[in-house]
Structure 1
Amino acid sequence: MKTQFTTLFLWLSLMMILMMTSCNRLLDEKSDLRLATPITLEDNQALLDKYNDVITNFAASGMVGSDDYYISDANFNALMYEEDKRLYTWQPDHVATPKSAGNDWYYCYKAIYISNSVLYNLDTYQIPDAANVRGQALVFRAARFLDAAQIWCLAYNKTTADTDLGLPLRLNPDMSTPSKRSTLQETYVQILSDLHEAVDLLPVQQAAATRPSKISALAYLARTYLYMGDYEKALEYATKTLALKNELMDFNSLNPAVSFPIKDLNTEVLLRTSMYINLAVYSPIIRVPVDLYQSYSDHDLRKSIYFKINPDGEIIFRGNYTGGSSGKLVGAATDEIYLIAAEANAQLNKVPEAMNVLNQLLVTRWQNGTFINLTAATKDAALTVIAKERQKELLFRGIRWADLKRYNRDGANITLTKTVNGKTYTLPPNDLRYAVAIPEEIIKLSGIQQNIR
């Protein structure tokens, strides 16, 4: 089996190069590798379990550009890759890292390829009792497409989605099919199709949170509909998710004296996927803005659980939902679903319901006996409170970039600024740079259309 997986890994790597390059010369080359094709259910489950790129290396480019953190001039100047510097300062082009280091696009489509390979194997070899494995592959593919859409596409807008650029929708492992970009509407239709199919295939829970379940598929549907601005559907699927699993950690039970108070695979994690460790979001060099830190009440236990203050007064984030790992959780968790339900209720003008859901979450975050329920008199007031709490709760979870895009789509008028080496960089609301430039080497080798700058 070890030999099989070694051979398969080499074959997958070769196929990924072919897909990424779309180069006729490479397509004509023949591999002399003898592939041991995964024809059993166990083999295909192992593909999803053992190829770490399926559950790790989700895109970090959005977090690099977000306002959740900053890095010092010295650390900026010391960054190894020009790519990181350009992403951090919202440059309109994207110089990719050396191939040996990979990039967000590479890891995204490598994971999609693995999911497609599993789906192809299940169909081609008519593998019995495959519903669970098929559902997992569909969720992983949908999660990657959704993650990618937040980086390389504009915010979903139903009035322009039929013409806005979407993603190349690779739906099978056939490397001879040229890549081309779909519309944004087609991209989201595919994401929703995968997730809805998966819901009917998956068990309610899995043996481990690293495998997608019915609960996590429902959670991703809630997230997708929220990003699309379909608040009725977002509320429907958030409610269905919480009906099956609504546990929250009581932060009063966590120990702020330990290095990483939040455990990996804690009770809130619905699907354990994590972010590619881009140097610009590497834990030892990133710092939390003082005004964000000060927005937490002294009775809010997230202030002591999420953060540590260095002797020099700089604020470090340590609230990873992956425990001590420097990888940041980007998968679904129940705290996010509470916030989706709260926001969707507010958007539907159900203000009391929105605040009730929000308070159910927040009471578990505050020191016992100190929390006073938050209230709001209007829809707009509720949405303002929920947006603040969403940033504070989901800090470093790979969500902020997508939130900024959709908030501005809906009229929030948020302008981001960063000062590096004495120069101020600005990202206005709805700027085209919110659709991050695809790595230039991918454009040159594949011929797909670059984002409009």
Structure 2
Amino acid sequence: MKRSNIFFLMVMAAALFTGCSKYTDIKTEGALTPGDYINFRYLMNNTDRLERSVDMPDMTSDDIQYKDTGMQQSLSNEYRNAYMWAAQYYDALAPDQDWRVLYAANYSCNLVIRDVMSGNGGTAQLKNEVLAEARVHRAYNYFMLVNMYGKQYNESTQAADLGVPLVLQPDVAEVAVRGTVKEAYDNILKDLQAAIPALPESNTHNIYPSKAAAYAMLAKVYLQIGRYKDAASYADSALTLQHTLLNLPTLSSYPQRTDNPEIILSKIAGSSHAYSARQVLSDELLALYDPKDFRYSYFTQDYTQDGKVYRVYAKENVSGSNRNIGLSVPEMLLIKAECQARAGEAGNAMNTVNTLRAARFSAADYTPLSATSADDALVKVLQERRRELCFSCVRWLDQKRLFTDSRFAKNITRTNLLTGETFTLSPGSNRYLFPIPQYNIQLNPSLVQNPR
């Protein structure tokens, strides 16, 4: 192993770690010997690098809406650009934070995957577990990358459609070129399948991947590519290992991410939670909520700016920390329900959805959902996904995968009230591909830009 690599990562792990007091027992720095197993364990303990994820897909989705000049003006340039699906989100000299966060995390994962098994100390079981954790994190990161910067998976064109650079070695000097969507998904699935045998069924903290997390990630991946039978099977496997739901009406306080039994694998939005004050619910999303739904009263609230009142996403204010956008029990229930609806099992789909809804209403206000047909069940499941999973970077992925279905595909138009320009996001549009950061193209001209 290259000593320079491990010393670099040791320094970075110490510099980047900002974990909360719950993790005072988790070492991330100290007198370490390059090549020792413990180095790799510490790298996988770095919550600031491995738990941190993205937030821009919330800004581009139809769950958010800014209808007046004052609110648009309060956004940073990059958020305003993303809201309008502009040709570039960031200035030429400014790196794309989502891109940087995910690839930085993958550097750590690549180093562990390459070198942990040849390290000194540690049992084979411990080394394999750390290796498996790195594979799950890397699979998650590439799933987000390919769905932000690459085309939606299409069975007939995946081998030609551009995805993202698939960097699988810890070599910062590598000249990265964009791979295909197929290559990205092949590696994601390979990593997850390879990880499962060595992972514990559950882990000591939800920042660490477990078998439940690998199964849940497989369910999410298969849903995105339209393999619903596989998605349902892996969602069931995850739920067998972890299925606890918070009963919102009975909570005295909302738990921190690290203590939340609904979270299967914690991943936090990249922004600070102060940003949530400007996550204004779109009219369409707001209309889906029953005011008696505790998700409405708990996770949204009125926000006043310049004398105007907006309904904003407030889960971060309730929990006091960045929102989780990682894998969860509610998401697995909704994946299972969607797959049941698509299989023609309307009653089963509604039963699965109602398992979730019963924990979101008081007993006096709860009424089970029913469906008249499988198509009706699918519509109601997708509405429930929006209510439950809003502002967790899920809706953007749903918009991408549903664009071929006329029942759910639609044009979305936004006007920049500062300039008067109007932008339209059409089903299957190139605007569903995030622009490759100009900053990165300047550093590496081999990167091909997405069309607009």
TM-score interval (norm. to shorter): 0.7 to 0.9
Corresponding residue for residue 70 of structure 2: 74
Following TM superposition, by how much is the alpha carbon of 1:272 offset from its aligned partner in structure 2, in angstroms?
Answer: 1.0
Q: Give 3-state SS (helix, strand or coil) of 2:359's partner.
A: coil
Following TM superposition, by how much is the alpha carbon of 1:79 offset from its aligned partner in structure 2, in angstroms?
Answer: 3.7
Corresponding residue for residue 125 of structure 1: 119
Corresponding residue for residue 451 of structure 1: 450
Following TM superposition, by how much is the alpha carbon of 1:59 offset from its aligned partner in structure 2, in angstroms?
Answer: 2.2
Change (3 A) 1:176 1:264: closer
Corresponding residue for residue 264 of structure 1: 257
**What percent of counterpart residues are identical?**
28
User: 2:96·2:437 contact (CA, 8 Å) conserved in 1?
Assistant: no
Is residue 392 of structure 1 aligned with residue 387 of structure 2?
yes
Following TM superposition, by how much is the alpha carbon of 1:247 offset from its aligned partner in structure 2, in angstroms?
Answer: 0.8
Change (3 A) 1:337 1:38: farther
Q: What letter matches 1:8 in structure 2? A: F
Following TM superposition, by how much is the alpha carbon of 1:96 offset from its aligned partner in structure 2, in angstroms?
Answer: 4.1
Structure 2 residues without counterparts, runs of 5 or longer: 14-30
Corresponding residue for residue 309 of structure 2: 313
Q: What letter matches 1:416 in structure 2? A: I
Corresponding residue for residue 435 of structure 1: 433
User: 1:38·1:121 contact (CA, 8 Å) conserved in 2?
Assistant: no
Q: Give 3-state SS (helix, strand or coil) of 1:203's partner.
A: coil
TM-score normalized by structure 1? 0.86
Worse overlay, 174-183 or 123-132: 123-132
Greater RCO (Cα-Cα under 8 Å, separation 6 or more): 1
Following TM superposition, by how much is the alpha carbon of 1:110 offset from its aligned partner in structure 2, in angstroms?
Answer: 0.5
CA distance in 2, matches of 1:12, 1:404: 36
Is residue 110 of structure 1 aligned with residue 104 of structure 2?
yes
Is residue 228 of structure 1 aligned with residue 222 of structure 2?
no
Worse overlay, 188-197 or 281-290: 281-290
Corresponding residue for residue 238 of structure 1: 235
Taking the TM superposition and a 5 Å limit, the aligned residue runs for 1:29-428 are: 38-50=34-46, 52-56=48-52, 58-71=53-66, 72-80=68-76, 82-96=77-91, 98-99=93-94, 103-125=97-119, 128-129=123-124, 130-255=127-252, 261=254, 263-265=256-258, 266-277=260-271, 282-310=275-303, 312-320=308-316, 323-325=319-321, 327-411=322-406, 412-421=408-417, 422-428=420-426
Following TM superposition, by how much is the alpha carbon of 1:39 offset from its aligned partner in structure 2, in angstroms?
Answer: 2.1
Following TM superposition, by how much is the alpha carbon of 1:246 offset from its aligned partner in structure 2, in angstroms?
Answer: 0.9
CA distance in 1, matches of 2:156, 2:399: 19
User: 2:277·2:314 contact (CA, 8 Å) conserved in 1?
Assistant: no
Structure 1 residues without counterparts, runs of 5 or longer: 14-34
Q: Give 3-state SS (helix, strand or coil) of 1:211's partner.
A: coil
Paired residue total:
420
CA distance in 2, matches of 1:290, 1:306: 16
Q: CA RMSD in A?
A: 2.6
Q: Give 3-state SS (helix, strand or coil) of 2:179's partner.
A: strand
Where has structure 1 moved over 6 Å in runs of 4 or more?
none
User: 2:285·2:386 contact (CA, 8 Å) conserved in 1?
Assistant: no
Q: What letter matches 2:315 in structure 1? A: G
User: 2:323·2:392 contact (CA, 8 Å) conserved in 1?
Assistant: yes
TM-score normalized by structure 2? 0.86
CA distance in 2, matches of 1:37, 1:405: 46
